[in-house]
Structure 1
Amino acid sequence: MSVSESIISGEGKIRKDANVVWADNLRALATVSVILLHVGAGILSKYGQVPGMIWITGNFYDSLVRACVPIFVMLSGAFLLTRDIPSIQAFVHKRLTRILIPFLLWSFLYIFLYNELSEINLRLIAKNLWQGSSFHFWYVYMLIGLYFFIPIILKWVRHSMQNEILYFLFIWLVALLFVPLVDTKFKMPLDLTYFSGFLGYLILGYYLSTFKLKGSPLVLATGLFVTGFLLTFLGTHYLTRWMGYFTGHLYDYLTVNVALMAAGIFIFYRNFPFSSTSLFSKTGGFLAKYSYGIYLVHILVLDKILQPFNINYMFVHPVIGIPVTALACTVISALLIYLLTKLPFIGRYVN
């Protein structure tokens, strides 16, 4: 579904946009990024087993696109937290229907394609639906949890002053710094878990799409992204060398470095003067419209369509193999979802 909608207006806030091309382009970027992330991820666990430059290439690409999932959540915050909700029941029903029906359809397809028919039974189906029939479906479960909370948080956000939202975001960033330490020998006496989680990205997306930023947004965006990327890329490199095995703590979406990257990319796209008639924006609009279906199907395309032809990150050097495989997967996934949506009866439920 395209997100060409209006942003809330008001004193101290960004005026309404007739056509938010930036959001479609940003959703398209996040869609391609998550595919690229999954294409290159296989290299990372092979630290010490593959040549150093190949592993560094995988780390570079993976670090570069780590903000993909936070961007999806931020876009949800930018649009869902700016709308009036007629009733909690109507909101939950509409959102869950929109997300659950395609999710269940693809979940059953993954179950039947990744298991022997003789092994499929009600217990296996229930287990797969409970845990996710594919590893990347965790995002859907997380998103459903956020949807349940949106009717509650929306009233606070919409009636809060800018400084009040900044107060929350500041403590959220502090929580991102320290909450991971609760699983280590260092125990924090201060409980900040109330401010942690993907809820922060939801509110960050609302804030950055609603309130004007001082200074040059594009300069700020570049600084945030470069800082976050270098912390992720170099930090993961040196942590892994120090530990002697792949150490992906800085890859976690709920880290300050990834939050900086996500904020930088969001600010850049929000303030860049995209042309709605350009090929870039038209392509972005197409990918944004089918982004949910592309997300659901892309692992299937990687495993069942490209892999049998040995098209993966290693079919040539990963510097080329990773982006080419990701591009091929994106094109095939987008065309597949587009064609499936044209089918009678079932077409409306695949995306």
Structure 2
Amino acid sequence: MTVAKSKRIFYFDALRALAIICVIVVHVYAVTRVHVMADYAVIPSFDWIFSQFIGNCFRIGVDLFLMLAGALSLGRVWTIREFLGKRIPRIVGPFLFWGIVTGAIAVIISYYFGFSFINSFDINSIYEFFMGVFFATSRGYDPYWFFWMILGTYLIMPIFNKWLLHSELVEAEYFLVFWLITCLYDYTLNMAFPIKLSYFTCPIGLVVAGYYLRHTERRILNNPYFALALLIITSAVTVILATYHSTASEMYVYNRYSILMCIEVMAVFLLFKNFNKFNINLNFSERLTKMVKMFIFMIAKYSYGIYLIQGLFLCIYRDIVPYCGYCSTFIEMVLLILITSMIIMYVLEKVPYINKVIGAK
């Protein structure tokens, strides 16, 4: 199946914007949930349930990025050299640039302002800190694991692209059935399936799912009400089961590749793809509509750069933002991280040469 190159599609930008917001939300959840841990009881508090909902149902950011990679790149005619020559520099340049820049900032503010990114300032400690930056082990740089995962995914995508170019969608469905089995056993039940299915597992399964859901013509999968119902049911089941498995000392969090997360992310993808079928008039004002679309476009455009710098701001704001109630503090930190990151990306995009390596596209 050959798919012609398409123009920019708004629902892809909306999904990419949602993906980076989900990433920020889940990272803020990880450092703020301690404030509501003690609220677990037979009937947990609203703040506890809100935190549990955020921690699980927004854990689809990385999954969305993987699905978008498949939707945008698979099923198209390109050579391995063309694909890797375009994709690899896009992720390597910003990764190195922001690793060096934010790492240097982290060292400087630790030395002058007492932040705890690094405790010793000898050459060996600084070297080890920067190694930890690039290998996702230094404080604030855990999210950098994403670079190594997406790099490996890009390296295998040409093989899958060649297969899908010469396949019907029913063959993608065959692959996705076994992929969902691995999601159930490997990442949800945490038990081995009798048949070795490692070739069907995530993250490549989400990439193929993105390609399939973009192009499928199955009626039920193009019904927005089905997608909405699937999203609501999956989210509710996720929160209920996560609450059941939680304790007063630990909030249960599902793996991002679990069956519930993968069904949820597919529901979100289908909902955005078919949203216009609801026939809802959202054009309250032409000017307001343009502003909202521009804001979504900017978040989508800067998403990779935001991903690479949000960890630094998360650690900074965690130390300096006063706690004034769980929900208000949570929302404040999410907005601060998103807005600060976007401002920096917007300013640096105006700088010649630098704008090529900040992760804007």
**Global fold match (TM > 0.5):** yes
For 2:132 and 2:318, the matched residues in 1 are separated by 26
- Kindly provide the CA deviation profile for residues 103-133 of structure 1, in whole angstroms up to 9, marking residues without a partner as x: 0111223433133442445455345423455
Report what 1:269 is aligned to: 272
TM-superposed CA distance for 1:307, in Å, is 3.4
CA drift at 1:256: 0.7
| Structure 2 equivalent of residue 57 of structure 1 | 50
Please tell me whether the aligned partners of residues 60 and 261 of structure 2 are also in contact (alpha carbons under 8 angstroms).
Answer: yes
Counterpart position of 2:304 = 292
Task: Note the 1:224-239 alignment, pairs <5 A.
Answer: 224-239=230-245
Q: Deviations over 1:302-325 (max 9, x none)?
A: 222x335315xxx33223332232
Counterpart among 6, 9, 18 of residue 20 in structure 1: 9
Does 2:273 match 1:278?
A: no
**Match for residue 12 of structure 1?**
none
CA distance in 1, matches of 2:199, 2:63: 18
C-alpha distance in 1 between matches for 2:343 and 2:179: 39
Change (3 A) 1:110 1:120: farther
Structure 1: distance between partners of 2:188 and 2:346: 44
The answer on 1:159 being equivalent to 2:202 is no
Counterpart of 1:8 (choices 3, 6, 9) is 3
Whole-Å separation in 2 of the counterparts to 1:236 and 1:69 = 20
* Pair 171,25 (structure 1): closer, same or farther in 2 beyond 3 Å: same
Counterpart-to-counterpart distance in 2, 1:37 and 1:169: 27
Going from structure 1 to structure 2, the CA distance change for 1:254 and 1:38 (only over 3 Å counts) comes to same
Report whether the alignment pairs 1:212 with 2:220. no
Identity across the alignment (%): 26
- C-alpha change, 1:283 and 1:47, in structure 2 (3 Å) is closer
Contact 2:14/2:300, CA 8 A, preserved across alignment: yes
CA RMSD of aligned residues (A): 2.6
Q: Is the 8 A contact 1:181 1:188 kept in 2?
A: no
What CA distance in whole angstroms lies between the structure 2 residues aligned with 1:210 and 1:201? 14
User: Partner residue of 1:317?
Assistant: 325
Q: C-alpha separation between the residues in 2 aligned to 1:308 and 1:82?
A: 46
* Structure-2 separation of matches of 1:291 and 1:219: 29
User: Structure 1 residues 266 and 63 mapped into 2: Cα distance closer, same or farther (>3 Å)?
Assistant: same
Deviation at 1:254, TM superposition (A): 0.8
Is residue 2:94 matched to residue 1:102? yes
Q: Deviations over 1:45-103 (max 9, x none)?
A: 66754564233221122223111110111011100114321x32332132111100110
Describe the superposition over 1:197-251 as per-residue Cα deviations: whole angstroms up to 9, x where unpaired: 110110110011112231462111112211221222111111013xx5425352x
Native 8 Å contact 1:182 1:188 kept in 2:
no
Tell me whether 278-287 or 108-117 shows the greater mean CA deviation: 108-117
Match of 2:109 in 1: none
Instruction: Name the structure 2 match of 1:193.
Output: 198
Tell whether the 8 Å contact from 2:74 to 2:164 is kept in structure 1 after alignment: yes
Q: How many residues align?
A: 329
Shift of 1:180: 3.9
Q: Which AA in structure 2 matches 1:70?
A: D
- Matched residue SS, 2:54: helix
| Offset, 1:135 | 0.3
Structure 1 segments of 4+ aligned residues over 6 angstroms from their partners: none
The one-letter code matched in structure 2 to 1:175 is: T
Residues 320, 128 of structure 1: alpha-carbon distance in 2 compared, 3 angstrom cutoff: closer
Q: Which residue pairs with 1:342 in the alignment?
A: 350
> What is the TM-score with the length of structure 2 in the denominator?
0.82
Checking the alignment, whether the CA contact within 8 Å between 2:15 and 2:269 is kept in structure 1 is yes
TM-score (norm 1): 0.85
Any stretches of 5+ residues in structure 1 without a counterpart?
A: 1-6, 10-15
Paired residue type of 1:223 = A
Per-residue CA deviation, residues 314-346 of structure 1 (Å, 9 max, x unaligned), is x33223332232122211111111111222332
Structure 2 partner of 1:257: 260
What residue number does 1:4 align with? none
Residue by residue, what CA displacement relative to the aligned partner does 1:253-287 show, whole Å, maximum 9, x if unpaired?
Answer: 11110011101110011112387953322211111
SS at match of 2:63: helix
1:328 aligns with 2:332: no
CA distance in 2 between counterparts of 1:210 and 1:161 reads 11
- 2: distance between equivalents of 1:191 and 1:181? 16
